[in-house]
Structure 1
Amino acid sequence: MDISIAILIIGFAALFAAFLLLVIGLVYSEMMNSDIPCGVANRGKLHIVHGLFVGIAIVGRILERLGICQQVSFIRWFRAQFLTRINPVPPGLRVKDLGFSQVPVRVYESTVATDGLRRGLMYFHGGGWVTGNLDTADEVCRQIAKETETTVVSVGYRLAPEHRYPAQLDDCDAATCHFLSVAEAEFGVDPRRVAVGGDSTGANLAAALCQRLAKKQDGHLPSPCAQVLIYPALQMADFNLPSYQQNHAVPILFRGRVAFYFLQYLNGDMSICQDVLEGNHVPTELKPCYHEWLSPSNLPEACLARGYTKLPAAEYSGELYHKIKSGLEPEVSPLLAEDDVIRMSPPTFILTCEYDVLRDDGIIYRRRLMDLGVDVTWHHVADGFHGIINFINQGWLSFPSAPRVVDSVVDFVKTL
């Protein structure tokens, strides 16, 4: 072997080893900042999954700084290639990729014969409006469609940072209205029995869409018959609720990442992330109203059992508010809608997880809905963490709690 080639190989090996050590060190440092309480199901596996996700993010960050590719592009690619398992379509189910008003959708239809029209469900995946796609929601949609004989339409809405608000909500709106207009003729679905739902930021889109459709109801299309909200992100006015304090470092969703995702959705300005977390963006005149809606007194006593500290009032910044004021509008923060709007909400299913920063968003929204006369079904996963529903039938990434989460959704959908 030529000595120059040998030196080159040794040099590349040394660089790779240094790169690997750097990544391992950064992953270890990040994992030391996590806190997985004893009550979380399968804590050991969650530690491993968290380390893997952190490693992917760190490699993506390094590649972006080297000018090779954007971090978000690498994360999407890696998860699609190595962490998203597409199982064979089971008997009794038909799956088709289509386009509704130029929005990519995946339709799941039961092949079991039925005498009448079926029910339908529009499903919006989670992922912080930044990641996620039709494949990441595939197994969940299959399970719901197969177990309930419901026609499920999964929506592949556009993502940030390439597309900002309201692109994601507009896509969900367009796909839903298209389906409602053709449900009976093309899919044998009763348009009056079509619900909307999703997980995490997908649940945010579902809640926002229900409010939007209720306000613009013109009689041409029926409103959704229900909304299915799986650990929903519903407001960006208060990141210091008890669940944010108690679960701030519980994987898979840290407190700081919630603000990060909201900002990616709105404008991508990460320089204001800490100020938003502290609440400096909330106008003084709106604080009394928000406090009434978001007060920890609206939570069950059990939600305060792991501790809560009332923080000093944040210092309002008008400049900050004007940068993200759309984030306090109901289409981004459905929990902050006026009573007259929330009162028009359809029957609602809300699922929350104890070890999730978004736990209190869902529980407080439940309280607001119930106080305004809306029928609510609530399912709380005592040992659950954010994102758990996506770990169903994913091989070594599966968590035993995930099927229980899907089963609770299935039980509700069967009542529609």
Structure 2
Amino acid sequence: MIPLLETLLTTGCVLCLGVSLWVFRERLLTADIPPAISHPVKIRILDFLMHLTITWGHIFEKLRICSMPRFVRFMQKTLTIKKNPEVVVTDLRFGTIPVRLFQPKALTSSPRRGILFYHGGGTVFGSLDSYHNLCSFLARETDSVVLSVGYRLLPEHHYPVVFTDCLNASIHFLKALKTYGVDPSKVVACGESIGGGMVALIMQALVGRTDLPQIRAQVLIYPTVQAINFQLPSFQQNQNVPFLPLDFMITCACKYLAIDLSWKEAMLKGACIPPGFWKKYRKWLSSDNLPRRFRSKLQQPETLAPFNEAAYLETKHIFDVENAPIIADDEVIAQLPEAFLVSCEMDILRDDTLLYKKRLEDQGVRVTWYHMEDGFHGCAVLFDQKLFSFPCSVSLANAVVSYIKGI
């Protein structure tokens, strides 16, 4: 019995070491750490740990022990939740949707501002816990009631669950603002990454709703607003920058949209885009619409592969407005509330943010733009994570607070 246990233990140790060395070598060779990122060693360590976790998740999924997304989220619980004595935190459920309410402890004689928050994570990462510190900070620093929405995730839940969960939770909150001591004229919607995309979608979905309080402003932190054009300069420049490599991003998009991964290459090359669609919408999706400083002469312009009808039929829901808020009608865009957009120089979604900024401005929507030269995708989730935090994480949080307090 003892020799068998020793053999199993040795085999397990060798396997763990082998997997770790393989992931370390792969990330050392492929991960791109731009010079502008502060603490490059720290980000390499975090990048290695993230990909090691994802790799073990895939192994456990193959062995039918646990799905990759569930394992990743289990490991993400190692992030520190900081208790703030100035904020009361309450876990609730709006029907089947878990939400977390952050309320300042200090007494007030008048209703407070309200913030709806949708976390990021590409439906693989992300939870109420992982964005707890940021939401607590927003509640305290802006003296606001913050509602964080814990929408359902992969692998069990696919499109359009994230959108419907966020929309339903938002409507529930807006109908009960007095219960939470919130001023109906001072509600802000805020989201990061896919959560930022949810902000865009929900703001559009609520246009014309006279039965609900109007959202005062929208805060979109490096949002994803389309999954159509993957040839923008930021996709080319930052395709291997942590923490959102291009391959992982398109894999998450395919899994959420229930698109077979065999169509990834067609999506990357634009083979699924009908010529008529591109002719109509390139005015909003093409890199020609980006500020000149973000269009390097060395970058290849969009060159769509020959149209593949089979690829289009398998991926055609990427052209729905519910998955690409940037292509919404002008009449809808023009009625949106003022916006605060955050972009990061070393983020694969940088150009999504810039294109949506222009889209809003072209329709007369007031936009405040905050660009972080040292920023990278995912820096928001690292806010107030002690050794794992970065200067750009703090700058981002402070900029959002400053904007919200100023409206």
Q: TM-score, structure 2 length as denominator?
A: 0.96
Residues 96 and 107, structure 1, Cα contact 8 Å, conserved in 2 = yes
Q: Return the alpha-carbon distance in structure 2 between the equivalents of residues 131 and 15 of structure 1.
A: 27
1:190 aligns with 2:183: yes
Residues 229 and 350, structure 1, Cα contact 8 Å, conserved in 2 = yes
Letter in 1 for 2:191: G
Matching residue of 2:75: 78
Q: Return the alpha-carbon distance in structure 2 between the equivalents of residues 371 and 265 of structure 1.
A: 31
Matches within 5 A, 1:175-324: 175-184=169-178, 186-214=179-207, 217-305=208-296, 307-324=298-315
* Cα offset, 1:131, TM superposition: 2.4
Q: What is the aligned counterpart of 1:25 among 5, 11, 22? A: 22
- Structure 2 runs not aligned, ≥5 long: none
Name the SS of the counterpart of 1:322 in structure 2: helix
Name the SS of the counterpart of 1:353 in structure 2: strand
Q: 1:187–1:18: structure 2 CA closer, same or farther, 3 Å change rule?
A: closer
Q: Over residues 348-368 of structure 1, what are the superposed CA-to-partner deviations in whole Å (9 max), with x where a residue is unaligned?
A: 010000000100000111111
Residues 39 and 383, structure 1, Cα contact 8 Å, conserved in 2 = yes
Matching residue of 2:120: 126
Q: Return the alpha-carbon distance in structure 2 between the equivalents of residues 8 and 167 of structure 1.
A: 45
Matching residue of 1:65: 62
Name the SS of the counterpart of 1:319 in structure 2: helix
Q: What is the aligned counterpart of 1:56 among 53, 57, 63? A: 53
Matching residue of 1:113: 107
Matching residue of 2:373: 382
Matching residue of 1:163: 157
Q: Return the alpha-carbon distance in structure 2 between the equivalents of residues 268 and 319 of structure 1.
A: 12
* Cα offset, 1:387, TM superposition: 0.4
Residues 242 and 307, structure 1, Cα contact 8 Å, conserved in 2 = no
* Cα offset, 1:304, TM superposition: 2.1
Q: Return the alpha-carbon distance in structure 2 between the equivalents of residues 310 and 179 of structure 1.
A: 44
Matching residue of 1:343: 334
Q: Return the alpha-carbon distance in structure 1 between the equivalents of residues 256 and 7 of structure 2.
A: 44
Letter in 2 for 1:353: C
* Cα offset, 1:235, TM superposition: 0.5
Name the SS of the counterpart of 2:176 in structure 1: helix
Aligned residues: 407
Letter in 1 for 2:99: V
Letter in 1 for 2:87: L
* Cα offset, 1:91, TM superposition: 2.8
Q: Return the alpha-carbon distance in structure 2 between the equivalents of residues 319 and 268 of structure 1.
A: 12
Residues 99 and 105, structure 1, Cα contact 8 Å, conserved in 2 = yes
* Cα offset, 1:7, TM superposition: 5.3
Higher mean displacement: 174-183 or 30-39:
30-39
Matching residue of 1:41: 38
- Structure 1 runs not aligned, ≥5 long: none
Q: Return the alpha-carbon distance in structure 1 between the equivalents of residues 280 and 24 of structure 2.
A: 41
* Cα offset, 1:395, TM superposition: 2.2
Q: Over residues 307-364 of structure 1, what are the superposed CA-to-partner deviations in whole Å (9 max), with x where a residue is unaligned?
A: 4111432222222222222221121111121211211211001000000010000011
Residues 24 and 48, structure 2, Cα contact 8 Å, conserved in 1 = yes
Q: 1:219–1:312: structure 2 CA closer, same or farther, 3 Å change rule?
A: closer
Name the SS of the counterpart of 2:190 in structure 1: strand
Q: What is the aligned counterpart of 2:343 among 337, 340, 352? A: 352
Name the SS of the counterpart of 1:286 in structure 2: helix
Letter in 2 for 1:100: F
Q: Return the alpha-carbon distance in structure 2 between the equivalents of residues 306 and 191 of structure 1.
A: 48
Name the SS of the counterpart of 1:164 in structure 2: coil
Name the SS of the counterpart of 1:97 in structure 2: strand
| Identity value in percent | 36
Q: Return the alpha-carbon distance in structure 2 between the equivalents of residues 128 and 253 of structure 1.
A: 10
Residues 130 and 264, structure 1, Cα contact 8 Å, conserved in 2 = no
